[in-house]
Amino acid sequence: MANHLHNKIIVITGASSGIGLTLALDVAKQGGIPVLLARTTRKLEAASEEILKTTGIEAPFFTLDVGDNEAVIKTFTQIVEKYDRIDVLINNAGYAIFDAFIDAKVEDVKGMFDVNVFGLIACTKAVLPTMIKQNKGHIINIASQAGKLATPKSSIYSATKHAVLAITNSLRMELMDTNIFVSAVNPGPIKTPFFDRADTSGNYKKNVEKFMLESSFVSAKIIQLMERPKREMNLPGWMGIGTTFYQLFPSIVEKVAGKKLNQK
């Protein structure tokens, strides 16, 4: 099979750990050039070294807080100046803090929206002029099943991912007459450090452990999406069917599965 990622410039936010790092490694194994963006320089250096050692591909990195709009513009300008193009943007940076709505701290609410929503908006707006100029590209937004089915203690996180889905769907239609693809990936829970911050009690991770996806599986599916773009990818597939059923029959799902949804 032809290697569709060979020499492609693939920018990944939140690339220093978790899904972002796994994906960067897999991109490099496919011959692509992963451009790593994250907040912690030390982790970025380690990630870049691991990619070079494992694949022989040099993975440039830029220390970036996606919530800082001016820094986002500066970083993407540097990337375009270096490579003259960006083939794929993967908006992966994001985090959650699970709390009952009444207990949620306003600063935590603002922080999640700054990264999960406004950071995604800033990076997408920064990459669009280049992609429109080249009339080619792919924007992949890592959303969540939580964006389709809000559960107790995830009201704010779910709201951010619902916003991501709305932005993704609208932007896709705006770019319909171009060669720029816009996709959403909606994973369920994944075995990554994500839950170390989201659920400090450890209860949620313990309750859903048997349903958790391996980061290697999710990364492989995103690689497939880059090779064969489509509007949306739900992982795992059965969970996507479940959220669709909820959208059609919300009262039934809340009544029947209410206790199962309250596992945090």
Catalytic residues: 157
Q: Which amino acid is at 28?
A: A
* Nearest one of 212, 214, 224, 155 to 183, comparing CA atoms: 224
CA proximity to 5, closest of 24, 20, 27, 26: 27
| Distance of alpha carbon 9 from alpha carbon 16, whole angstroms | 17
- Whether the bond between 60 and the residue before it is cis, its omega within 30 degrees of 0, is no
Tokens of 91: 């908006």
Q: Are 124 and 91 a contacting pair, CB within 8 Å?
A: yes
Name the residue type at position 202: G
